[in-house]
Structure 1
């Protein structure tokens, strides 16, 4: 189905997302740093970013990639801790296509992804 780039250094949650989306028929490539992600994301249909990752500023990364035209046709999905509303706000301002709490990502990842992909 879709090729998904996942920026998620968290091994446990990243593996959960990879597995859930693989079951839904998607191919997931997980990245732990933004430098490799920047090169690879144009070859993907969707970018998912862990906004809670230490040492990574997902909102600034997506904003920078949008400004450089690196995400022209790639929708973005970010997930955050439900108690961190400032992170949600920053991600929305950065131009994420969708921003959801981590708990919702865990429950509804396949539906969220399908909602952001172009209809076949």
Structure 2
């Protein structure tokens, strides 16, 4: 069972992703702030295998969060997936430059969350 953290303040969409991944056997935790993600990544018992980052939230700079977490060495054992609004090509480009393992439109995340998770965990 994969352990997944979702960095998103959007409870509606986050809950949808959580339900989809939980039904597929993952253990999913919704986290609204980078500080909460940082706590989980620093704890060997709570560290997620995969971090999903919402790039559609105007109050959350998910790209900056990834860069900071990676530079602090907190993502060495964690795969990363970002989802963005399909109309925001600049956010997609910046996410790819920031070295997320996978960057997908939000609509694809909604449709294929379990398959996307499996592609990152080898399951």
Tell me which interval the TM-score lies in, with the shorter structure as reference length: over 0.9
1:106, 1:41 → 2: CA distance? 25
Please point out which of 112, 117, 123 is paired with 1:113: 117
Q: CA deviation at 1:8?
A: 1.3
Gaps of at least 5 residues in structure 1 are none
Q: Which position in structure 2 is the counterpart of 1:77?
A: 81
RMSD across aligned C-alpha pairs, in angstroms? 1.0
1:94 aligns with 2:98: yes
1:19 Cα deviation after fit: 0.2
What residue ranges of structure 2 are gaps of 5+ in the alignment? none
Q: What CA deviation, in whole Å up to 9, does each residue of 1:37-83 have, x standing for no partner? A: 11103511100000011211101110111111110010100000000
User: d(CA) in 1 for partners of 2:105 and 2:122?
Assistant: 23
TM-score, with normalisation over the residues of structure 2?
A: 0.93
Which stretches of structure 1, 4 residues or more, deviate above 6 A after TM superposition? none
Is 1:5–1:41's contact at 8 Å kept on the other side of the alignment?
A: no
State the Cα deviation string for residues 16-52 of structure 1 (Å, max 9, x = none). Answer: 0000000000000110111111110351110000001
1:55 to 52, 56, 59: 59
